A and B are shown apart, each in its own frame.
Chain A
Protein backbone atom coordinates (compact mmCIF):
# COMPACT_ATOMS: atom_id res chain seq x y z
CA UNK A 1 0.00 0.00 0.00
CA UNK A 2 1.32 3.42 -0.95
CA UNK A 3 2.13 5.48 2.13
CA UNK A 4 0.24 8.74 2.66
CA UNK A 5 3.45 10.40 3.73
CA UNK A 6 6.79 9.28 2.37
CA UNK A 7 9.98 10.94 3.51
CA UNK A 8 13.29 9.86 1.99
CA UNK A 9 16.75 11.04 3.01
CA UNK A 10 15.40 14.36 4.19
CA UNK A 11 17.92 16.88 5.44
CA UNK A 12 17.36 20.40 6.66
CA UNK A 13 20.16 22.83 7.32
CA UNK A 14 19.13 26.38 8.21
CA UNK A 15 20.92 29.45 6.86
CA UNK A 16 22.91 29.79 10.09
CA UNK A 17 24.31 26.28 9.58
CA UNK A 18 22.12 24.56 12.16
CA UNK A 19 21.27 21.03 11.01
CA UNK A 20 17.68 20.51 12.14
CA UNK A 21 17.02 17.22 10.34
CA UNK A 22 19.53 14.57 9.41
CA UNK A 23 18.71 11.89 6.83
CA UNK A 24 15.08 11.35 7.88
CA UNK A 25 13.34 8.35 6.34
CA UNK A 26 9.74 7.77 7.28
CA UNK A 27 6.60 6.24 5.81
CA UNK A 28 3.18 6.89 7.28
CA UNK A 29 0.43 4.52 6.28
CA UNK A 30 -3.03 5.64 5.15
CA UNK A 31 -5.57 5.80 7.93
CA UNK A 32 -3.18 5.43 10.85
CA UNK A 33 -2.58 7.68 13.82
CA UNK A 34 1.13 8.29 14.00
CA UNK A 35 2.59 9.99 17.05
CA UNK A 36 5.89 11.76 16.64
CA UNK A 37 7.62 12.15 19.95
CA UNK A 38 10.78 13.98 20.81
CA UNK A 39 12.19 16.48 23.26
CA UNK A 40 12.06 20.22 22.57
CA UNK A 41 14.22 21.17 19.60
CA UNK A 42 14.40 17.60 18.30
CA UNK A 43 13.05 18.60 14.87
CA UNK A 44 9.37 17.61 15.11
CA UNK A 45 7.97 20.96 14.01
CA UNK A 46 10.63 21.39 11.31
CA UNK A 47 9.71 18.01 9.86
CA UNK A 48 6.00 18.86 9.85
CA UNK A 49 6.67 22.33 8.47
CA UNK A 50 8.64 20.90 5.56
CA UNK A 51 5.94 18.37 4.68
CA UNK A 52 3.30 21.11 4.80
CA UNK A 53 5.35 23.54 2.69
CA UNK A 54 6.11 26.14 5.34
CA UNK A 55 9.84 25.44 5.46
CA UNK A 56 12.05 24.62 2.46
CA UNK A 57 13.86 21.30 2.51
CA UNK A 58 17.62 21.20 1.93
CA UNK A 59 17.92 17.69 0.50
CA UNK A 60 15.74 14.67 0.06
CA UNK A 61 12.31 13.81 -1.22
CA UNK A 62 8.94 14.15 0.47
CA UNK A 63 5.63 12.93 -0.88
CA UNK A 64 2.17 13.55 0.51
CA UNK A 65 -0.73 11.47 -0.81
CA UNK A 66 1.68 10.23 -3.46
CA UNK A 67 2.59 13.70 -4.73
CA UNK A 68 5.99 15.33 -4.47
CA UNK A 69 5.68 18.34 -2.16
CA UNK A 70 7.87 20.48 -4.45
CA UNK A 71 7.00 19.37 -7.98
CA UNK A 72 3.31 18.63 -7.35
CA UNK A 73 2.87 21.01 -4.47
CA UNK A 74 -0.75 21.80 -5.30
CA UNK A 75 -1.90 18.19 -5.19
CA UNK A 76 0.23 17.47 -2.16
CA UNK A 77 -1.00 20.46 -0.17
CA UNK A 78 -4.64 19.97 -1.13
CA UNK A 79 -4.54 16.70 0.76
CA UNK A 80 -3.05 18.17 3.94
CA UNK A 81 -4.60 19.97 6.87
CA UNK A 82 -2.39 21.52 9.52
CA UNK A 83 -3.08 22.59 13.07
CA UNK A 84 0.11 24.35 14.15
CA UNK A 85 1.51 24.47 17.62
CA UNK A 86 1.16 28.20 18.17
CA UNK A 87 -2.27 29.67 18.70
CA UNK A 88 -2.15 31.79 15.54
CA UNK A 89 -5.59 32.99 14.61
CA UNK A 90 -7.20 35.92 12.92
CA UNK A 91 -8.69 38.41 15.32
CA UNK A 92 -11.39 40.49 13.68
CA UNK A 93 -12.98 37.88 11.44
CA UNK A 94 -15.94 35.80 12.54
CA UNK A 95 -15.51 32.08 13.07
CA UNK A 96 -17.64 31.33 10.01
CA UNK A 97 -15.67 33.70 7.76
CA UNK A 98 -12.30 32.42 8.95
CA UNK A 99 -13.21 28.77 8.37
CA UNK A 100 -14.80 29.53 4.99
CA UNK A 101 -11.67 31.46 4.01
CA UNK A 102 -9.52 28.42 4.72
CA UNK A 103 -11.69 26.21 2.54
CA UNK A 104 -11.44 28.64 -0.36
CA UNK A 105 -7.70 29.07 0.10
CA UNK A 106 -7.26 25.33 -0.34
CA UNK A 107 -9.07 25.44 -3.66
CA UNK A 108 -12.44 24.06 -2.61
CA UNK A 109 -15.77 25.57 -3.68
CA UNK A 110 -18.01 26.97 -0.94
CA UNK A 111 -19.79 24.24 1.04
CA UNK A 112 -21.88 25.75 3.83
CA UNK A 113 -23.15 22.31 4.84
CA UNK A 114 -19.65 21.01 5.41
CA UNK A 115 -18.59 24.11 7.33
CA UNK A 116 -21.71 23.77 9.46
CA UNK A 117 -20.89 20.12 10.22
CA UNK A 118 -17.29 20.93 11.14
CA UNK A 119 -18.38 23.77 13.43
CA UNK A 120 -21.02 21.59 15.08
CA UNK A 121 -18.57 18.72 15.56
CA UNK A 122 -16.21 21.10 17.30
CA UNK A 123 -18.94 22.78 19.38
CA UNK A 124 -18.35 26.06 17.57
CA UNK A 125 -21.73 26.41 15.91
CA UNK A 126 -23.07 28.79 18.56
CA UNK A 127 -19.98 30.95 18.13
CA UNK A 128 -20.07 31.08 14.33
CA UNK A 129 -20.89 34.80 14.21
CA UNK A 130 -18.50 35.76 16.99
CA UNK A 131 -15.24 37.50 16.23
CA UNK A 132 -12.32 35.20 16.94
CA UNK A 133 -10.70 37.73 19.26
CA UNK A 134 -13.66 37.36 21.62
CA UNK A 135 -13.13 33.60 22.05
CA UNK A 136 -11.28 31.81 24.82
CA UNK A 137 -7.96 30.06 24.15
CA UNK A 138 -9.64 26.67 23.97
CA UNK A 139 -12.22 27.93 21.50
CA UNK A 140 -9.49 29.48 19.37
CA UNK A 141 -7.78 26.10 19.30
CA UNK A 142 -11.04 24.59 18.06
CA UNK A 143 -11.21 27.27 15.35
CA UNK A 144 -7.74 26.29 14.19
CA UNK A 145 -8.82 22.68 13.94
CA UNK A 146 -11.97 23.70 12.08
CA UNK A 147 -9.84 25.67 9.61
CA UNK A 148 -7.61 22.65 9.07
CA UNK A 149 -10.63 20.43 8.44
CA UNK A 150 -12.51 22.91 6.28
CA UNK A 151 -11.14 21.53 3.00
CA UNK A 152 -11.67 17.87 3.93
CA UNK A 153 -8.00 16.83 4.00
CA UNK A 154 -7.03 13.17 3.89
CA UNK A 155 -3.94 13.85 5.99
CA UNK A 156 -4.11 15.90 9.17
CA UNK A 157 -1.11 17.21 11.08
CA UNK A 158 -1.71 18.09 14.70
CA UNK A 159 1.34 19.81 16.15
CA UNK A 160 0.92 19.77 19.93
CA UNK A 161 -2.85 20.13 19.58
CA UNK A 162 -3.71 19.86 23.24
CA UNK A 163 -0.95 22.05 24.64
CA UNK A 164 -2.52 24.32 27.22
CA UNK A 165 -6.10 23.13 26.77
CA UNK A 166 -8.33 21.89 29.55
CA UNK A 167 -9.15 18.26 30.20
CA UNK A 168 -12.60 18.46 28.63
CA UNK A 169 -11.32 19.88 25.37
CA UNK A 170 -8.50 17.36 25.33
CA UNK A 171 -11.01 14.51 25.62
CA UNK A 172 -13.16 16.11 22.90
CA UNK A 173 -10.15 16.32 20.64
CA UNK A 174 -9.21 12.71 21.22
CA UNK A 175 -12.76 11.76 20.34
CA UNK A 176 -12.65 13.90 17.21
CA UNK A 177 -9.33 12.37 16.15
CA UNK A 178 -10.77 8.89 16.52
CA UNK A 179 -13.79 9.84 14.40
CA UNK A 180 -11.54 11.28 11.72
CA UNK A 181 -9.51 8.10 11.65
CA UNK A 182 -12.72 6.09 11.27
CA UNK A 183 -13.42 8.20 8.21
CA UNK A 184 -10.05 7.28 6.75
CA UNK A 185 -8.06 10.39 7.64
CA UNK A 186 -4.38 9.82 8.34
CA UNK A 187 -3.30 11.67 11.45
CA UNK A 188 0.18 12.72 12.43
CA UNK A 189 0.37 13.94 15.96
CA UNK A 190 3.20 15.51 17.88
CA UNK A 191 2.72 15.85 21.56
CA UNK A 192 4.45 16.40 24.85
CA UNK A 193 1.73 14.45 26.62
CA UNK A 194 2.96 10.89 26.38
CA UNK A 195 -0.35 9.59 27.67
CA UNK A 196 -1.91 11.18 24.62
CA UNK A 197 0.30 9.13 22.31
CA UNK A 198 -0.28 6.07 24.49
CA UNK A 199 -4.03 6.60 24.28
CA UNK A 200 -4.30 7.48 20.60
CA UNK A 201 -1.45 6.32 18.43
CA UNK A 202 -1.16 3.22 16.29
CA UNK A 203 2.52 3.80 15.72
CA UNK A 204 5.14 5.84 17.48
CA UNK A 205 8.15 7.59 15.99
CA UNK A 206 10.83 9.06 18.20
CA UNK A 207 13.02 11.88 16.93
CA UNK A 208 16.14 13.08 18.70
CA UNK A 209 18.73 15.62 17.53
CA UNK A 210 17.09 15.70 14.08
CA UNK A 211 17.25 11.93 13.57
CA UNK A 212 14.48 9.36 13.72
CA UNK A 213 15.78 6.87 16.24
CA UNK A 214 12.78 4.59 16.31
CA UNK A 215 9.53 3.87 14.51
CA UNK A 216 7.44 1.07 15.91
CA UNK A 217 3.89 -0.13 16.47
CA UNK A 218 2.85 1.19 19.83
CA UNK A 219 1.95 -2.19 21.28
CA UNK A 220 5.15 -3.78 19.96
CA UNK A 221 7.18 -0.89 21.31
CA UNK A 222 5.62 -1.26 24.72
CA UNK A 223 6.35 -4.96 24.82
CA UNK A 224 9.78 -4.72 23.19
CA UNK A 225 11.24 -1.83 25.14
CA UNK A 226 8.95 -1.90 28.13
CA UNK A 227 10.22 -3.10 31.50
CA UNK A 228 8.31 -4.94 34.13
CA UNK A 229 8.93 -4.74 37.79
CA UNK A 230 8.15 -7.39 40.41
CA UNK A 231 8.09 -6.20 44.02
CA UNK A 232 8.26 -8.84 46.71
CA UNK A 233 7.35 -7.82 50.25
CA UNK A 234 9.31 -10.22 52.46
CA UNK A 235 8.13 -11.84 55.66
CA UNK A 236 11.50 -11.28 57.31
CA UNK A 237 14.12 -8.69 56.36
CA UNK A 238 17.29 -9.61 54.48
CA UNK A 239 20.66 -8.12 55.28
CA UNK A 240 21.88 -8.54 51.71
CA UNK A 241 20.95 -10.25 48.48
CA UNK A 242 21.81 -13.93 48.81
CA UNK A 243 24.77 -15.19 46.74
CA UNK A 244 22.52 -17.52 44.72
CA UNK A 245 20.66 -14.44 43.41
CA UNK A 246 23.60 -12.13 42.94
CA UNK A 247 23.45 -12.38 39.11
CA UNK A 248 19.76 -11.50 38.97
CA UNK A 249 18.65 -7.86 38.33
CA UNK A 250 17.56 -7.43 41.92
CA UNK A 251 17.54 -4.52 44.33
CA UNK A 252 17.03 -4.73 48.07
CA UNK A 253 15.34 -1.90 49.94
CA UNK A 254 17.21 -0.20 52.79
CA UNK A 255 15.06 -1.82 55.46
CA UNK A 256 15.56 -5.24 53.83
CA UNK A 257 11.84 -5.95 53.55
CA UNK A 258 11.46 -5.42 49.79
CA UNK A 259 13.09 -7.10 46.81
CA UNK A 260 12.60 -5.42 43.43
CA UNK A 261 13.17 -7.52 40.33
CA UNK A 262 13.28 -5.69 36.96
CA UNK A 263 12.98 -7.62 33.72
CA UNK A 264 12.15 -7.24 30.04
CA UNK A 265 8.49 -7.79 29.23
CA UNK A 266 9.36 -10.45 26.71
CA UNK A 267 11.45 -12.53 29.14
CA UNK A 268 9.10 -12.32 32.07
CA UNK A 269 8.05 -15.90 32.47
CA UNK A 270 11.46 -17.62 32.64
CA UNK A 271 13.02 -14.99 34.93
CA UNK A 272 10.16 -14.70 37.42
CA UNK A 273 9.73 -18.47 37.71
CA UNK A 274 13.45 -18.94 38.33
CA UNK A 275 13.49 -16.18 40.96
CA UNK A 276 10.51 -17.53 42.87
CA UNK A 277 11.89 -21.08 42.76
CA UNK A 278 15.26 -19.91 44.11
CA UNK A 279 13.59 -17.91 46.87
CA UNK A 280 11.61 -21.03 47.84
CA UNK A 281 14.76 -23.14 47.84
CA UNK A 282 16.47 -20.59 50.10
CA UNK A 283 13.48 -20.52 52.46
CA UNK A 284 12.85 -16.84 51.91
CA UNK A 285 9.15 -16.22 52.42
CA UNK A 286 7.17 -13.27 51.10
CA UNK A 287 3.77 -12.01 52.20
CA UNK A 288 2.82 -10.01 49.08
CA UNK A 289 3.96 -9.39 45.53
CA UNK A 290 3.15 -6.70 42.94
CA UNK A 291 3.98 -6.28 39.27
CA UNK A 292 4.08 -3.03 37.31
CA UNK A 293 4.66 -2.36 33.61
CA UNK A 294 6.60 0.68 32.46
CA UNK A 295 4.63 3.39 30.68
CA UNK A 296 5.34 4.82 27.24
CA UNK A 297 6.68 7.85 29.06
CA UNK A 298 9.37 5.82 30.77
CA UNK A 299 10.25 4.14 27.46
CA UNK A 300 10.42 7.54 25.79
CA UNK A 301 12.60 9.04 28.51
CA UNK A 302 14.88 6.02 28.29
CA UNK A 303 15.19 6.37 24.53
CA UNK A 304 15.92 10.06 24.35
CA UNK A 305 18.49 9.92 27.10
CA UNK A 306 20.43 6.98 25.69
Chain B
Protein backbone atom coordinates (compact mmCIF):
# COMPACT_ATOMS: atom_id res chain seq x y z
CA UNK B 1 0.00 0.00 0.00
CA UNK B 2 1.22 3.49 -0.89
CA UNK B 3 0.80 5.08 2.53
CA UNK B 4 2.98 8.04 1.59
CA UNK B 5 0.61 8.68 -1.29
CA UNK B 6 -2.45 8.54 0.95
CA UNK B 7 -0.77 10.83 3.44
CA UNK B 8 0.24 13.28 0.72
CA UNK B 9 -3.35 13.58 -0.55
CA UNK B 10 -4.74 13.77 2.99
CA UNK B 11 -2.28 16.44 4.11
CA UNK B 12 -2.79 18.40 0.88
CA UNK B 13 -6.55 18.51 1.50
CA UNK B 14 -6.20 19.34 5.19
CA UNK B 15 -3.83 22.17 4.27
CA UNK B 16 -6.58 23.54 2.04
CA UNK B 17 -8.87 23.60 5.07
CA UNK B 18 -6.28 25.46 7.12
CA UNK B 19 -5.85 28.01 4.34
CA UNK B 20 -9.59 28.63 4.14
CA UNK B 21 -10.65 28.54 7.79
CA UNK B 22 -13.23 31.30 7.29
CA UNK B 23 -14.95 29.43 4.47
CA UNK B 24 -14.42 25.88 5.75
CA UNK B 25 -15.16 26.35 9.44
CA UNK B 26 -16.30 29.80 10.45
CA UNK B 27 -18.98 30.15 7.80
CA UNK B 28 -20.89 26.88 8.46
CA UNK B 29 -20.53 27.34 12.24
CA UNK B 30 -21.98 30.85 12.08
CA UNK B 31 -24.83 29.93 9.75
CA UNK B 32 -25.80 26.92 11.89
CA UNK B 33 -25.53 29.05 15.04
CA UNK B 34 -28.07 31.41 13.52
CA UNK B 35 -30.53 28.52 13.39
CA UNK B 36 -29.84 27.83 17.06
CA UNK B 37 -30.42 31.47 17.92
CA UNK B 38 -33.59 31.87 15.86
CA UNK B 39 -35.25 28.46 16.15
CA UNK B 40 -33.66 27.41 19.42
CA UNK B 41 -33.55 30.44 21.68
CA UNK B 42 -36.01 32.89 20.10
CA UNK B 43 -38.88 31.01 18.42
CA UNK B 44 -38.10 27.69 20.12
CA UNK B 45 -38.98 29.03 23.56
CA UNK B 46 -42.54 29.64 22.33
CA UNK B 47 -42.91 26.21 20.72
CA UNK B 48 -44.18 23.12 22.50
CA UNK B 49 -41.95 20.17 23.38
CA UNK B 50 -41.65 17.22 21.01
CA UNK B 51 -41.34 13.80 22.67
CA UNK B 52 -40.79 15.68 25.96
CA UNK B 53 -37.73 17.44 24.51
CA UNK B 54 -37.61 21.22 24.24
CA UNK B 55 -37.90 22.37 20.64
CA UNK B 56 -34.51 24.10 20.72
CA UNK B 57 -32.80 20.90 21.80
CA UNK B 58 -34.92 18.73 19.47
CA UNK B 59 -33.64 20.42 16.30
CA UNK B 60 -29.95 20.24 17.24
CA UNK B 61 -29.25 16.76 15.79
CA UNK B 62 -30.98 17.69 12.53
CA UNK B 63 -29.12 20.97 12.20
CA UNK B 64 -25.78 19.31 12.92
CA UNK B 65 -26.68 16.69 10.32
CA UNK B 66 -27.54 19.46 7.82
CA UNK B 67 -24.10 21.01 8.22
CA UNK B 68 -22.40 17.65 8.23
CA UNK B 69 -24.05 16.54 4.99
CA UNK B 70 -23.48 19.80 3.17
CA UNK B 71 -19.87 20.14 4.26
CA UNK B 72 -19.01 16.49 3.60
CA UNK B 73 -20.35 16.75 0.07
CA UNK B 74 -18.83 20.16 -0.52
CA UNK B 75 -15.36 19.27 0.82
CA UNK B 76 -15.02 16.01 -1.04
CA UNK B 77 -16.54 17.16 -4.32
CA UNK B 78 -14.41 20.30 -4.39
CA UNK B 79 -11.31 18.32 -3.42
CA UNK B 80 -11.45 16.04 -6.45
CA UNK B 81 -13.07 18.54 -8.82
CA UNK B 82 -10.33 21.15 -8.48
CA UNK B 83 -7.55 18.95 -9.90
CA UNK B 84 -9.87 18.14 -12.79
CA UNK B 85 -10.60 21.82 -13.32
CA UNK B 86 -6.98 22.98 -13.04
CA UNK B 87 -5.60 20.01 -14.98
CA UNK B 88 -3.38 18.76 -12.16
CA UNK B 89 -5.38 15.50 -12.16
CA UNK B 90 -2.70 14.18 -14.56
CA UNK B 91 -0.41 13.77 -11.56
CA UNK B 92 -2.93 11.71 -9.63
CA UNK B 93 -3.68 9.51 -12.62
CA UNK B 94 -0.01 8.88 -13.35
CA UNK B 95 0.92 8.19 -9.72
CA UNK B 96 1.35 4.70 -8.26
CA UNK B 97 -1.79 4.95 -6.15
CA UNK B 98 -4.76 2.61 -6.26
CA UNK B 99 -8.31 3.94 -6.35
CA UNK B 100 -8.74 2.84 -2.73
CA UNK B 101 -5.76 4.98 -1.75
CA UNK B 102 -7.06 7.97 -3.70
CA UNK B 103 -10.44 7.60 -2.00
CA UNK B 104 -8.83 7.16 1.41
CA UNK B 105 -6.87 10.38 0.95
CA UNK B 106 -9.67 12.58 -0.39
CA UNK B 107 -12.61 11.10 1.49
CA UNK B 108 -10.56 10.69 4.67
CA UNK B 109 -9.67 14.38 4.63
CA UNK B 110 -13.19 15.51 3.78
CA UNK B 111 -14.68 13.30 6.52
CA UNK B 112 -12.12 14.55 9.05
CA UNK B 113 -13.03 18.14 8.27
CA UNK B 114 -16.73 17.32 8.66
CA UNK B 115 -16.23 15.59 11.99
CA UNK B 116 -14.18 18.53 13.30
CA UNK B 117 -16.87 20.88 12.09
CA UNK B 118 -19.63 18.74 13.64
CA UNK B 119 -17.88 18.80 17.02
CA UNK B 120 -17.37 22.57 16.82
CA UNK B 121 -21.05 23.08 15.96
CA UNK B 122 -22.12 20.87 18.86
CA UNK B 123 -19.93 22.85 21.25
CA UNK B 124 -21.25 26.13 19.83
CA UNK B 125 -24.86 24.90 20.16
CA UNK B 126 -24.29 24.46 23.85
CA UNK B 127 -23.88 28.22 24.14
CA UNK B 128 -27.46 28.75 22.99
CA UNK B 129 -29.39 25.59 23.87
CA UNK B 130 -29.19 23.09 26.67
CA UNK B 131 -29.08 19.52 25.41
CA UNK B 132 -28.01 16.01 26.52
CA UNK B 133 -26.17 13.22 24.79
CA UNK B 134 -27.58 9.93 26.03
CA UNK B 135 -25.38 7.67 23.91
CA UNK B 136 -22.09 9.54 23.25
CA UNK B 137 -20.48 6.56 21.53
CA UNK B 138 -23.35 6.18 19.07
CA UNK B 139 -23.52 9.93 18.59
CA UNK B 140 -19.88 9.97 17.56
CA UNK B 141 -20.32 6.81 15.49
CA UNK B 142 -23.19 8.42 13.55
CA UNK B 143 -21.12 11.56 13.14
CA UNK B 144 -18.20 9.62 11.66
CA UNK B 145 -20.30 7.23 9.58
CA UNK B 146 -22.37 10.02 8.07
CA UNK B 147 -19.28 12.09 7.35
CA UNK B 148 -17.60 9.20 5.55
CA UNK B 149 -20.73 8.24 3.62
CA UNK B 150 -21.49 11.72 2.38
CA UNK B 151 -17.87 12.54 1.70
CA UNK B 152 -17.88 9.50 -0.54
CA UNK B 153 -21.07 10.79 -2.15
CA UNK B 154 -19.41 14.18 -2.60
CA UNK B 155 -16.39 12.52 -4.18
CA UNK B 156 -18.70 10.92 -6.76
CA UNK B 157 -20.33 14.29 -7.44
CA UNK B 158 -16.90 15.87 -7.88
CA UNK B 159 -15.97 13.31 -10.50
CA UNK B 160 -19.33 13.55 -12.24
CA UNK B 161 -19.39 17.35 -12.33
CA UNK B 162 -17.96 19.06 -15.38
CA UNK B 163 -18.68 22.58 -14.16
CA UNK B 164 -19.07 24.54 -10.95
CA UNK B 165 -22.83 24.65 -11.42
CA UNK B 166 -23.11 20.88 -11.28
CA UNK B 167 -21.03 20.88 -8.09
CA UNK B 168 -23.74 22.99 -6.45
CA UNK B 169 -26.81 21.35 -7.93
CA UNK B 170 -26.86 18.19 -5.80
CA UNK B 171 -26.15 19.83 -2.41
CA UNK B 172 -28.53 22.73 -2.96
CA UNK B 173 -31.29 21.21 -5.08
CA UNK B 174 -31.43 17.71 -3.64
CA UNK B 175 -29.65 17.37 -0.28
CA UNK B 176 -30.96 20.58 1.32
CA UNK B 177 -34.64 19.79 0.60
CA UNK B 178 -34.13 16.22 1.77
CA UNK B 179 -32.66 17.45 5.06
CA UNK B 180 -35.40 20.03 5.61
CA UNK B 181 -38.06 17.43 4.81
CA UNK B 182 -36.23 14.68 6.68
CA UNK B 183 -37.30 15.61 10.18
CA UNK B 184 -34.77 18.27 11.08
CA UNK B 185 -37.42 20.62 12.47
CA UNK B 186 -40.15 18.11 13.30
CA UNK B 187 -40.89 14.48 14.02
CA UNK B 188 -42.27 12.73 10.96
CA UNK B 189 -44.96 11.31 13.26
CA UNK B 190 -46.41 14.84 13.22
CA UNK B 191 -47.11 14.50 9.49
CA UNK B 192 -50.30 13.09 7.91
CA UNK B 193 -50.00 9.35 7.35
CA UNK B 194 -49.43 9.58 3.62
CA UNK B 195 -46.52 12.00 4.11
CA UNK B 196 -45.07 9.77 6.81
CA UNK B 197 -44.97 6.96 4.26
CA UNK B 198 -43.45 9.22 1.60
CA UNK B 199 -40.87 10.46 4.11
CA UNK B 200 -39.60 6.94 4.61
CA UNK B 201 -38.23 7.11 1.06
CA UNK B 202 -36.04 10.00 2.16
CA UNK B 203 -32.69 8.53 3.26
CA UNK B 204 -31.93 11.55 5.42
CA UNK B 205 -34.85 10.63 7.70
CA UNK B 206 -32.87 7.61 8.87
CA UNK B 207 -29.70 9.61 9.49
CA UNK B 208 -31.43 12.31 11.51
CA UNK B 209 -33.57 9.80 13.37
CA UNK B 210 -30.56 7.71 14.36
CA UNK B 211 -28.53 10.75 15.32
CA UNK B 212 -31.39 12.12 17.44
CA UNK B 213 -31.75 8.75 19.14
CA UNK B 214 -28.08 8.99 20.18
CA UNK B 215 -28.88 12.34 21.83
CA UNK B 216 -32.25 11.74 23.44
CA UNK B 217 -33.16 8.08 23.02
CA UNK B 218 -36.15 8.95 20.79
CA UNK B 219 -36.39 8.25 17.09
CA UNK B 220 -38.83 8.18 14.18
CA UNK B 221 -37.52 4.80 13.02
CA UNK B 222 -35.69 2.06 14.86
CA UNK B 223 -32.01 2.89 15.36
CA UNK B 224 -30.98 -0.44 13.80
CA UNK B 225 -32.76 0.55 10.60
CA UNK B 226 -30.98 3.92 10.70
CA UNK B 227 -27.59 2.24 10.96
CA UNK B 228 -28.54 -0.27 8.26
CA UNK B 229 -29.72 2.43 5.84
CA UNK B 230 -26.56 4.47 6.41
CA UNK B 231 -24.40 1.41 5.75
CA UNK B 232 -26.47 0.62 2.67
CA UNK B 233 -25.90 4.10 1.27
CA UNK B 234 -22.20 3.82 2.15
CA UNK B 235 -21.99 0.53 0.26
CA UNK B 236 -23.80 2.00 -2.75
CA UNK B 237 -21.30 4.89 -2.83
CA UNK B 238 -18.36 2.51 -2.55
CA UNK B 239 -19.68 0.43 -5.47
CA UNK B 240 -20.12 3.61 -7.52
CA UNK B 241 -16.55 4.73 -6.76
CA UNK B 242 -15.21 1.27 -7.62
CA UNK B 243 -17.05 1.42 -10.94
CA UNK B 244 -15.74 4.94 -11.63
CA UNK B 245 -12.14 3.88 -11.20
CA UNK B 246 -12.62 0.57 -13.02
CA UNK B 247 -14.07 2.27 -16.08
CA UNK B 248 -12.16 5.54 -15.77
CA UNK B 249 -15.48 7.42 -15.97
CA UNK B 250 -14.75 11.13 -16.42
CA UNK B 251 -11.15 10.48 -15.38
CA UNK B 252 -9.39 8.37 -18.01
CA UNK B 253 -10.39 8.40 -21.65
Residues of A participating in the B interface, judged by any CB pair closer than 8 Å: 14-15, 52-56, 73-78, 80, 82, 84, 86, 88-93, 97, 100-109, 147
Q: Which of B68-76, B90-98, B215-223 touches A?
A: B90-98
Kindly state the separation between the CA atoms of A276 and B58 in the bound complex, as whole angstroms: 106
Q: Which of B4-12, B27-35, B136-144, B199-207 touches A?
A: B4-12
With beta carbons under 8 angstroms apart, the residue of B9, B16, B94 that contacts A80 is B94
Residues of B participating in the A interface, judged by any CB pair closer than 8 Å: 2, 4-5, 7-9, 11-12, 15-16, 19, 86-88, 90-98, 248, 252-253
Contact A56/B91 with A88-B86, A89-B86 known, Cβ cut-off 8 Å: no
Q: Is the CB of B87 within 8 A of A54?
A: no
Output the least CB separation between B36 and chain A (Å).
Answer: 32
Residues of A within 8 A of B96 (CB): 73-78, 106-107
Q: Is the CB of A53 within 8 A of B93?
A: yes
Residues of B within 8 A of A105 (CB): 4-5, 8-9, 91-92, 95, 97
The secondary-structure label for the interface of chain B is helix
Kindly state the separation between the CA atoms of A90 and B9 in the bound complex, as whole angstroms: 13
Q: Is the CB of A104 within 8 A of B94?
A: no
Residues of B within 8 A of A93 (CB): 12, 15
Output the least CB separation between A79 and chain B (Å).
Answer: 9
Residues of A within 8 A of B98 (CB): 74
Choose among A15, A104, A108 the residue with the greatest number of B CB atoms under 10 Å from its CB. A104
Q: Is the CB of B253 within 8 A of A56?
A: yes
Residues of B within 8 A of A101 (CB): 8, 11-12
Which 3 pairs show the lowest CB-CB distances between chains A and B? A104-B8, A88-B87, A74-B96
Residues of A within 8 A of B12 (CB): 93, 97, 101
Q: Is the CB of A88 within 8 A of B88?
A: yes
Residues of B within 8 A of A14 (CB): 253
Residues of B within 8 A of A107 (CB): 2, 4-5, 95-97
Q: Is the CB of A104 within 8 A of B5?
A: yes
Kindly state the separation between the CA atoms of A100 and B9 in the bound complex, as whole angstroms: 11
Q: Is the CB of B87 within 8 A of A86?
A: yes
Q: List 20 A-B contacts (CB under 8 A).
A: A54-B93, A56-B253, A74-B96, A74-B98, A82-B90, A84-B90, A86-B87, A89-B86, A89-B88, A97-B15, A100-B8, A101-B11, A104-B7, A105-B95, A105-B97, A106-B95, A107-B5, A107-B95, A107-B97, A109-B4
Q: Which residue of B has the minimal Cβ distance to A88?
A: B87
Choose among A55, A80, A91, A101 the residue with the greatest number of B CB atoms under 10 Å from its CB. A101
Output the least CB separation between B4 and chain A (Å).
Answer: 5
Kindly state the separation between the CA atoms of A219 and B19 in the bound complex, as whole angstroms: 53
Output the least CB separation between A111 and chain B (Å).
Answer: 11
Q: Is the CB of B4 within 8 A of A53?
A: no
With beta carbons under 8 angstroms apart, the residue of B2, B19, B252 that contacts A54 is B252
Q: Which residue of B has the minimal Cβ distance to A131?
A: B19
Kindly state the separation between the CA atoms of A38 and B253 in the bound complex, as whole angstroms: 22
Output the least CB separation between A295 and chain B (Å).
Answer: 33
Residues of B within 8 A of A74 (CB): 2, 96, 98
Kindly state the separation between the CA atoms of A89 and B19 in the bound complex, as whole angstroms: 18
Other contacts beyond A82-B91, A86-B87, A105-B91: 9, CB < 8 A:
A55-B252, A74-B2, A76-B96, A78-B96, A88-B87, A105-B4, A106-B4, A107-B5, A107-B97
Q: Is the CB of A104 within 8 A of B4?
A: yes
Kindly state the separation between the CA atoms of A146 and B16 in the bound complex, as whole angstroms: 21
Residues of B within 8 A of A77 (CB): 94-96
Q: Which residue of B has the minimal Cβ distance to A157?
A: B94
Residues of B within 8 A of A100 (CB): 8
Residues of A within 8 A of B4 (CB): 103-109
Output the least CB separation between A272 and chain B (Å).
Answer: 52
Q: Is the CB of A54 within 8 A of B90?
A: yes
Kindly state the separation between the CA atoms of A55 and B93 in the bound complex, as whole angstroms: 9
Contact A90/B88 with A56-B248, A105-B8 known, Cβ cut-off 8 Å: yes
Output the least CB separation between A257 and chain B (Å).
Answer: 57
Residues of B within 8 A of A147 (CB): 91
Residues of B within 8 A of A73 (CB): 96
Kindly state the separation between the CA atoms of A110 and B19 in the bound complex, as whole angstroms: 22
Residues of B within 8 A of A52 (CB): 90, 93-94
Q: Is the CB of B5 within 8 A of A15?
A: no
Output the least CB separation between A141 and chain B (Å).
Answer: 14
Kindly state the separation between the CA atoms of A107 and B7 in the bound complex, as whole angstroms: 10
